[in-house]
């Protein structure tokens, strides 16, 4: 199967007179299963629908959108693999210089708020168009959401874009359901029964009788407590087995979220990754410049979906869900064997993982029949007593991959949950991870050392990381290797004041960790941490939370994490004096910075 067509010439070559769907994406078209647009296009193809890809169209020229004419069934619109605003701006709201999803890393090939802009252009050239949004940008903006860049609670992206409906979460099942409904002759305005979708309607009769009502959009916009309440309701209804439909009123519109689509079975997930991907950038696009985003994933294997980690600052539970589904060993082995046949393969599989690499199955058996608990986390600052800890299946896959012909090394570069690892009484995975799967440096995410902040993050207490750190270096020394931990740290997360930032800096000084990059907390839509940032209240406990909002304090906290850099010395000294910690200024081993 060739690439999906990206121009009229390819459309005609493939015998398509009029495509069923035109898929508009803010990313360069890379036909690889790590790119959502490729998965959706391929799965529609497998079900008999023709799809043409309009990759990074010029939104200032409406005629560009008619490259393939008007689609027979609908326009599919996605901003790409990353929210277009996150893609374009740093947490300091400065314009980024590179876009990894564009040829040559060039910035400016997609608009801000891509879903909205693309939809408006489509409507201008096809006023009868059926427009369906998808991808992370649409998924996390499906209902009222706090927007960091505008510093307001924005309405559902369905209203601002003028699109007809959107697919949230992982969209394979929903998009086929929509395609079949439209192909049967139904108007898109009557497609109100597909799980995993959000639609807008002015008909009260189109609102499910059992729908839970969220506060009105205007109420959420003006009342922070109402916004926190709405988030809690959404968060408690993310599992197909126990969720209710949700409805939010915005003026004369009802925004209706159907229950989430059911999680793919292992067999279904295997079939997704068995689609005939070319596993590379379309050659006509590659000729414009290399697309950097393919580099890390080209020789990587996605082993699972979903995450029950429950980090407060992560939106995965709102997008992929908390139930983990994994691929079979045979599926992964087949893909690995195909990788070894690539002429550019050098013997190294870069990653075998997913959102969390060592989550290879559901957190407990109860999830299979009842869904995830609505008011209880599986793991984090506190651990559920029903949590199943088992690395056996994942470890068996890693062992078999290591033994494949032409494979020299198998690395794990996606996140490892060290707390989950430390709960496993069987040390086989831990030891083999260190011995075989670390490329000199293992990236882990303690995020902070203050238990107060870690509780806000729903991360494990600091003592758990310390036990992991000691065990890691002890076994590394035992096998005669020189390997390092690279900790991911977040500054200015809700709950972190100057005292907590200083506590983290002191720890870094004592341990010798020197983070190359420090990430300020980035408030993105639909996370518990973002609700705390906006409201100053933890939606889970309803307690007040301190939030660092001024640029000055954010700079102080960030500088403390990189206190050893001479350019930060002056600001760190001022901060320490302000906090009454002049004892940390001097030449002593315990001091962070020298005197002025």
Length of the chain: 596
Do residue 185 and residue 324 come from a single domain? no
DSSP one-letter code for 32: S
* pLDDT digits 0-9 by tens, 516-561: 778 899 999 999 999 999 999 999 999 999 999 899 999 999 999 9
CA distance 138 to 166: 7
The reply to whether 546 falls in a domain is no
Do residue 304 and residue 186 come from a single domain? no
Per the CB < 8 A criterion, the answer to whether 372 and 311 are in contact is no
pLDDT number for residue 1: 65
Per the CB < 8 A criterion, the answer to whether 455 and 485 are in contact is no
What string of H, E and C letters represents the secondary structure of 494-541?
CCCCHHHHHHHHHHHHHHCCCCCCCEECCCCCCCHHHHHHHHCECCCC
Count the neighbouring beta carbons within 10 Å of the beta carbon of residue 334: 14
Name the domain boundary from 141, 165, 198.
198
pLDDT number for residue 209: 96
Helix, strand, coil distribution of the chain in percent, nearest 5: 35, 15, 50
CA distance 271 to 46: 10
Count the neighbouring beta carbons within 10 Å of the beta carbon of residue 222: 11
Do residue 305 and residue 192 come from a single domain? no
Count the neighbouring beta carbons within 10 Å of the beta carbon of residue 138: 29
> Which tokens hold the place of 31?
């036909």
Do residue 185 and residue 315 come from a single domain? no
* pLDDT digits 0-9 by tens, 417-471: 999 999 999 999 999 999 999 988 898 999 999 999 999 999 999 999 999 999 9
Kindly report the backbone phi and psi dihedral angles of residue 133, in degrees, each rounded to the nearest multiple of 5, phi listed first: -90, 155
pLDDT number for residue 318: 93
The reply to whether 249 falls in a domain is no
Do residue 312 and residue 173 come from a single domain? no
Q: What is the mean pLDDT of the chain?
A: 96
Do residue 18 and residue 151 come from a single domain? yes
Do residue 312 and residue 423 come from a single domain? yes
- Domain total for the chain? 2
Residues 6 or more apart whose CB falls under 8 angstroms from that of 508 comprise 514, 515, 561, 563
* pLDDT digits 0-9 by tens, 95-146: 999 999 999 999 999 999 999 999 999 999 999 999 999 999 999 999 999 9
Q: Beta strand 212-213 with 197-201: parallel, antiparallel or unpaired? A: unpaired
Using DSSP, state whether 82 is helix, strand or coil. Answer: coil
pLDDT number for residue 470: 96
Measured CA distances, 340 to 295, 298, 300, 455 (Å): 16, 11, 11, 44
CA distance 232 to 224: 13
CATH number of the domain enclosing 100 = 3.40.50.280
Name the domain boundary from 404, 439, 474.
439
The reply to whether 539 falls in a domain is no
Count the neighbouring beta carbons within 10 Å of the beta carbon of residue 257: 26
CATH number of the domain enclosing 313 = 3.30.750.210
CA distance 526 to 548: 19
Secondary element (H or E) of residue 80: none
Do residue 26 and residue 166 come from a single domain? yes
Angle between helices 266-273 and 329-340 (to 10 degrees): 10
Secondary element (H or E) of residue 270: helix 266-273
| Of 348, 357, 297, the residue nearest 327 (C-alpha) | 357
> Which tokens hold the place of 285?
């696009």
Do residue 184 and residue 319 come from a single domain? no
Using DSSP, state whether 24 is helix, strand or coil. Answer: strand
Secondary structure E strands in 122-181 = 131-134, 145-147, 152-154, 165-167
Per the CB < 8 A criterion, the answer to whether 397 and 404 are in contact is no
The reply to whether 304 falls in a domain is yes
Secondary structure E strands in 155-308 = 165-167, 197-201, 212-213, 246-250, 253-257, 280-281, 300-302, 304-305
Q: What is the DSSP track for 530-590?
A: HHHHHHSB-TTT--B-----SHHHHHHHHHHHTTTSGGGHHHHHHHHHHTT-GGGBSSSTT
The reply to whether 83 falls in a domain is yes
Predicted confidence pLDDT, tens digits, the chain (596 residues): 699 999 999 999 999 999 999 999 999 999 999 999 999 999 999 999 999 999 999 999 999 999 999 999 999 999 999 999 999 999 999 999 999 999 999 999 999 999 999 999 999 999 999 999 999 999 999 999 999 999 999 999 999 999 999 999 999 999 999 999 999 999 999 999 999 999 999 999 999 999 999 999 999 999 999 999 999 999 999 999 999 999 999 999 999 999 999 999 999 999 999 999 999 999 999 999 999 999 989 999 999 999 999 999 999 989 999 999 999 999 999 999 999 999 999 999 999 999 999 999 999 999 888 999 998 899 999 999 999 999 999 999 999 999 999 999 999 988 899 999 999 999 999 999 999 999 888 989 999 999 999 999 999 999 999 999 999 999 999 999 999 998 899 999 999 999 999 999 999 999 998 887 788 999 999 999 999 999 999 999 999 999 998 999 999 999 999 999 999 999 999 999 999 999 999 999 999 999 98
Using DSSP, state whether 476 is helix, strand or coil. Answer: helix
Q: How wide is the angle at C-alpha 570 spanned by C-alphas 568 and 572, nearest 5°?
A: 65
> Which tokens hold the place of 62?
């409406």
Q: Percent of the chain having pLDDT more than 70? A: 100
CA distance 568 to 36: 40
Residue 320 is part of which domain span? 299-439
> Which tokens hold the place of 592?
């962070």
pLDDT number for residue 440: 87
The reply to whether 288 falls in a domain is no
CA distance 138 to 129: 18
Residues 6 or more apart whose CB falls under 8 angstroms from that of 174 comprise 167, 194, 195, 196, 197, 261
pLDDT number for residue 443: 86
> Which tokens hold the place of 529?
């941490």
Measured CA distances, 74 to 22, 71, 180, 322, 361 (Å): 7, 6, 12, 31, 36
Do residue 190 and residue 317 come from a single domain? no
The reply to whether 418 falls in a domain is yes
Do residue 55 and residue 188 come from a single domain? yes
Q: What is the DSSP track for 329-370?
A: HHHHHHHHHHHHTSTT--SEE-EEESSSTT--S-S-THHHHH
Name the domain boundary from 181, 198, 215.
198
Q: How wide is the angle at C-alpha 324 spanned by C-alphas 331 and 195, nearest 5°?
A: 100
Per the CB < 8 A criterion, the answer to whether 369 and 239 are in contact is no
């Amino acid at each position: 199967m060739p690439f999906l067509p990206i121009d009229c010439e390819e459309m005609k070559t493939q015998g398509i007179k009029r495509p069923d769907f035109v898929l508009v994406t803010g990313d360069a078209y890379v036909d690889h299963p790590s790119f959502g647009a490729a998965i959706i296009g391929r799965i529609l193809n497998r079900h008999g629908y023709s799809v043409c890809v309009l990759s990074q169209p010029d939104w200032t020229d409406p005629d560009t959108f008619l490259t393939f004419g008007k689609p027979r069934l609908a326009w599919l619109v996605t901003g790409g693999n990353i929210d277009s605003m996150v893609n374009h701006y740093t947490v300091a709201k400065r314009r980024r210089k590179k876009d990894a999803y564009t040829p040559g890393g060039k910035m400016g090939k997609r608009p801000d708020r891509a879903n909205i802009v693309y939809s408006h252009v489509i409507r201008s050239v096809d006023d009868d168009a059926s427009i369906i949004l998808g991808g992370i940008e649409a998924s996390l903006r499906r209902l009222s959401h706090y927007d960091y860049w505008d510093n307001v609670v924005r309405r559902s992206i369905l209203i601002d874009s003028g699109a007809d409906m959107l697919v949230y979460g992982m969209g394979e099942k929903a998009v086929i359901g929509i395609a079949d409904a439209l192909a049967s002759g139904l108007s898109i305005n009557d497609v109100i029964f597909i799980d995993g979708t959000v639609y807008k309607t002015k008909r009260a009769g189109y609102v499910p009788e059992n729908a839970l009502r969220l506060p009105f959009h205007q109420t959420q916009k003006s009342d922070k407590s109402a916004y926190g309440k709405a988030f809690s309701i959404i968060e408690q209804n993310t599992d197909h087995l126990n969720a209710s439909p949700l409805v939010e009123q915005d003026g004369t519109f009802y925004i209706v979220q159907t229950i989430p689509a059911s999680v793919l079975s292992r067999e279904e997930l295997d079939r997704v990754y068995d689609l005939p991907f070319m596993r590379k950038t379309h050659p006509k696009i590659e000729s414009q410049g290399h697309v950097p985003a393919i580099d890390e994933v080209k020789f990587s294997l996605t082993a699972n979906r979903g995450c029950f980690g429950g980090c407060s600052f992560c939106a995965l539970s709102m997008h992929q869900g908390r139930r983990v589904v994994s691929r079979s060993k045979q599926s992964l082995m087949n893909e690995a064997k195909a990788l070894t046949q690539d002429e550019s393969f050098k013997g190294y599989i870069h990653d075998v993982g997913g959102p969390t690499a060592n989550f290879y199955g559901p957190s407990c058996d109860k999830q299979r029949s009842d869904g995830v608990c609505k008011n209880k986390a599986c793991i984090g600052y506190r651990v559920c007593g029903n949590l199943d800890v088992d690395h056996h299946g994942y470890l068996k896959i890693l062992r078999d991959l290591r033994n494949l012909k032409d494979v020299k090394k198998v690395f794990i570069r996606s996140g490892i949950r060290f707390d989950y690892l430390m709960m496993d009484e069987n040390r086989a995975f831990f030891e083999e991870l260190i011995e075989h799967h670390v490329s000199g440096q293992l990236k882990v995410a303690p995020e902070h050392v203050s238990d107060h902040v870690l509780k806000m993050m729903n991360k494990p207490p600091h003592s758990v990381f310390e036990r992991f750190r000691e065990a890691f270096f002890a076994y590394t020394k035992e096998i005669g290797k020189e390997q390092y931990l690279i900790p991911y740290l977040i500054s200015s997360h809700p709950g972190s004041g100057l005292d907590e930032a200083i506590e983290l800096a002191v720890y870094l000084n004592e341990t010798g960790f020197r983070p190359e990059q420090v990430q300020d907390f980035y408030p993105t839509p639909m996370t518990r941490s973002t609700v705390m940032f906006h409201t100053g209240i933890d939606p889970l406990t309803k307690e007040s939370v301190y939030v660092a909002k001024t640029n000055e304090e954010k700079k102080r906290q960030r500088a403390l994490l990189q206190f050893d850099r001479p350019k930060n010395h002056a600001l760190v000294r001022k901060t320490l004096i302000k906090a009454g910690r002049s004892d940390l200024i001097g030449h002593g081993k315990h001091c962070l910075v020298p005197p002025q």
